[in-house]
């Protein structure tokens, strides 16, 4: 892409992009300008580590999931050799997508256009009328392309379209071990993202979703009202101390690289006992608690059980681990975003415990849930409001004067502080500065 992008009469240089993110404020064009979205596709989604899927979604040889990295269609496939690959879903003949099904199991991907056929490792195994190419076609070199770099952390598969750049481990940094808070909610350290997913699309920018501890009392007022009416019921039993009050032990955390967390650890562990009592009401609950203490020891087990596998973590730019779900954010246009929420099943626990967790997920995050539809609605209202360019700055300075740095170098604020928003936009600005873009191979 040229250094200058011109669309709708606007051109952006490194300096003019940097100027869109100010001290505690962001210009709304960051969310509304299609030219910025084009640059994001190139400089973020074609460069950074992007979450693709969880290994448990392709547990058997031949299992595949159709995903995307920005605009690049990809397939996460477990090959006949048991390796999980991220293959580019593009026929090496004349470019058609070879797979059009969201997920499934197959020995071969046969292109719909002229029938070239690839196996589950991506190797080209058959070409219709091959003799027509004479000696020109080396089938060994014409397999489905692979994402230049792939990496995995505890089953979470990431890929990058950039041929070089920092390692996945460096990219995740201090946020990596936070993923453990979900995986280790299982006494065997196994999660399965195989229970299907609910998807939603909202007419708003992809950067609006997640990691906001300031909004719940307003957007989710009806949920709080229900909890206050019946504090002993369900998860309400663990929320006698409102986690979204700034007086609570909850915090916002910015890990760098745009990764951020609403940190409920100190709050939840303070409510371990009522939460354990709640678990015991479900068949297998007492055994679950015992298995967790055996696997991880007292203090860690209490923390993991209190959190219930909910790290409330955002890994920039497209992965969020919230509640009992793996959430993928897929930007479709600057004002259109798809959110996929896949509920997680824990290994080593009773079906009843997993069913209870799934019901909790549905009750807040499901299509008819009490939470997510309200979130999608508010994002659409934000997007409509931001079309105004009179006083176009979005304010994200809340808590700037009280944020601190913890011993691990993370920035910490109170739960309602806009620490995650500032962290995300700081990294956004870094990536969007052309001089930092890693080289991509055009081969």
Nearest distance from residue 213's CB to Fe ion, in Å?
10
Partner whose binding site includes residue 36, from Fe ion, ligand FES, none (CB under 5 to 8 Å by kind): none
| Residue 428 interface partner, choices Fe ion, ligand FES, none, CB cut-off 5-8 Å depending on type | none
State yes or no: residue 375 binds Fe ion (CB under 5 A).
yes
Q: How far is the CB of 72 from ligand FES (least distance, A)?
A: 17
Q: What does residue 221 show for φ and ψ, rounded to 5 degrees? A: -55, -35
Q: Which does 255 bind (CB under 5 to 8 A by kind): ligand FES, Fe ion, none?
A: none
Which is closer to ligand FES, CB of 115 or CB of 409? 115
Instruction: Name the token pair of 320.
Output: 């969020």
CB nearer to Fe ion: pick between 354 and 383: 383
Q: 346: Cβ–Cβ under 8 A, 6 or more apart, which residues?
A: 185, 186, 190, 191, 192, 309, 353, 354, 357
Distance CA 171, CA 45 (A): 14
Partner whose footprint covers residue 156, from ligand FES, Fe ion, none (CB < 5 to 8 Å by kind): none
The piece of 15-23, 91-99, 102-110, 370-378 that touches Fe ion (CB under 5 A) is 370-378
61/142 with CB nearer ligand FES: 142
* Smallest gap from residue 156 Cβ to ligand FES (A): 31
Interface map 329-368 toward Fe ion (x if CB under 5 A): ----------------------------------------
Chosen from Fe ion, ligand FES, none, partner binding at 297 (C-beta under 5 to 8 Å by type): none
- What residues contact 292, with CB distance under 8 A and at least 6 apart? 187, 301, 304, 305
| Least gap, CB of 114 to ligand FES (angstroms) | 3
Sign (positive/negative) of CA torsion 365, 366, 370, 375? positive
Q: Is 57 in the site for Fe ion (CB under 5 A)?
A: no
Binding site for ligand FES (CB under 6 A): 91, 93-94, 96, 111, 113-116
Q: How far is the CB of 385 from Fe ion (least distance, A)?
A: 17
Binding site partner of 293, from Fe ion, ligand FES, none, Cβ cut-off 5-8 A by kind: none
Find the residue with minimal CB distance to Fe ion.
Answer: 375
Nearer to ligand FES, 123 or 336 (CB): 123
* CA gap 348, 360 in Å, rounded: 19
Minimum CB separation from ligand FES for residue 91, in Å?
3
In whole angstroms, what is the distance from residue 325 CA to residue 412 CA?
24
Closer residue to ligand FES in complex, CB, 93/293: 93
Give CA–CA dist 317/257, Å, rounded: 9
Residue closer to ligand FES, measured from CB, 113 or 272:
113
Q: How many residues bind Fe ion (CB under 5 A)?
A: 1
Rank residues 91 and 341 by Cβ distance to ligand FES and give the closer one: 91
Distances (CA, A) of 420 to 202, 210, 439: 21, 9, 28
**Span 148-207, contacts to Fe ion by CB under 5 A:** none
What is d(CA 306, CA 60) in angstroms, rounded to the nearest whole number?
33
The interface partner of residue 375, options being ligand FES, Fe ion, none and the CB cut-off 5 to 8 Å by kind, is Fe ion
Shortest spacing between CB 96 and ligand FES, in angstroms: 4
Q: Is residue 418 near Fe ion by the rule CB under 5 A?
A: no
Q: Report d(CA 50, CA 219) in Å as an integer.
A: 29
Q: Which is nearer to ligand FES, 142 or 394 (CB)?
A: 142
In the complex, what is the shortest distance from the CB of residue 116 to ligand FES, in angstroms, rounded to a whole number?
4
Which does residue 409 touch among ligand FES, Fe ion, none (CB within 5 to 8 A, set by kind)? none
Q: Out of ligand FES, Fe ion, none, which partner does residue 114 contact, by CB within 5 to 8 A per kind?
A: ligand FES
Enumerate residues 6+ apart whose C-beta is below 8 A from 322: 210, 310, 312, 313, 365
What is the contact surface with Fe ion in residues (CB under 5 A)?
A: 375
């Amino acid at each position: 892409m040229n250094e200058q992008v011109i669309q709708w009469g606007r051109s952006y240089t490194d300096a003019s992009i940097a100027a869109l993110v100010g001290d505690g404020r962001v210009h709304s064009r960051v969310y509304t300008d299609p030219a910025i979205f084009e640059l994001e596709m190139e400089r973020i989604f074609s460069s950074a580590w992007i979450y693709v899927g969880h290994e448990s979604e392709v547990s058997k040889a031949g299992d595949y999931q159709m995903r995307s990295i920005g605009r690049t269609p990809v397939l996460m496939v477990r090959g006949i050799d048991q390796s999980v690959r991220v293959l580019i879903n593009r026929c090496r003949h004349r470019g058609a997508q070879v797979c059009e099904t969201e997920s499934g199991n197959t020995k071969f991907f046969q292109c719909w256009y002229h029938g070239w056929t690839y196996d589950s490792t991506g190797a080209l195994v058959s070409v219709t009328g091959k003799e027509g190419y004479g000696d020109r076609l080396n089938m060994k070199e014409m397999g489905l392309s692979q994402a230049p770099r792939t990496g995995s952390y505890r089953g979470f598969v990431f890929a990058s379209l950039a041929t070089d750049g920092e390692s996945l481990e460096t990219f995740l940094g201090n946020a990596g071990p936070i993923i453990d808070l979900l995986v280790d909610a299982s006494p065997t350290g196994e999660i399965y993202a195989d229970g299907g997913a609910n998807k939603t699309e909202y007419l708003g920018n992809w950067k609006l979703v997640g990691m906001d501890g300031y909004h719940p009392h307003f957007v989710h007022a009806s949920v709080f009202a229900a909890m206050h009416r019946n504090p002993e019921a369900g998860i309400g039993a663990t929320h006698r101390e409102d986690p979204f009050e700034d007086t609570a032990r909850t915090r916002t955390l910015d890990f760098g690289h745009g990764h951020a967390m609403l940190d409920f650890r100190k709050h939840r562990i303070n409510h371990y006992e009522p939460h354990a009592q709640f678990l015991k009401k479900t068949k297998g609950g007492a055994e679950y608690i015992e298995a967790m203490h055996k696997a991880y020891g007292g203090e860690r087990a209490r923390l993991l059980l209190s959190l219930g596998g909910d790290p409330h973590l955002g890994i920039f730019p497209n992965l969020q681990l919230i509640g009992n779900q793996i959430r993928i954010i897929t930007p479709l246009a600057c004002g259109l975003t798809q959110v996929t929420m896949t509920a997680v099943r824990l290994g080593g626990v009773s079906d009843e415990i997993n069913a209870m967790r799934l019901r909790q997920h549905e009750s807040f995050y499901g299509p008819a849930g009490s939470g997510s539809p309200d979130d999608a609605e508010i994002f659409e209202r934000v997007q409509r409001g931001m079309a105004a360019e009179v006083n176009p700055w979005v304010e994200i300075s809340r808590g700037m004067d009280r944020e601190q740095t913890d011993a691990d170098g993370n920035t910490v604020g109170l739960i309602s502080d806009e620490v995650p928003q500032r962290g995300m936009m700081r990294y956004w600005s870094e990536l969007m500065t052309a001089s930092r873009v890693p080289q991509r191979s055009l081969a």
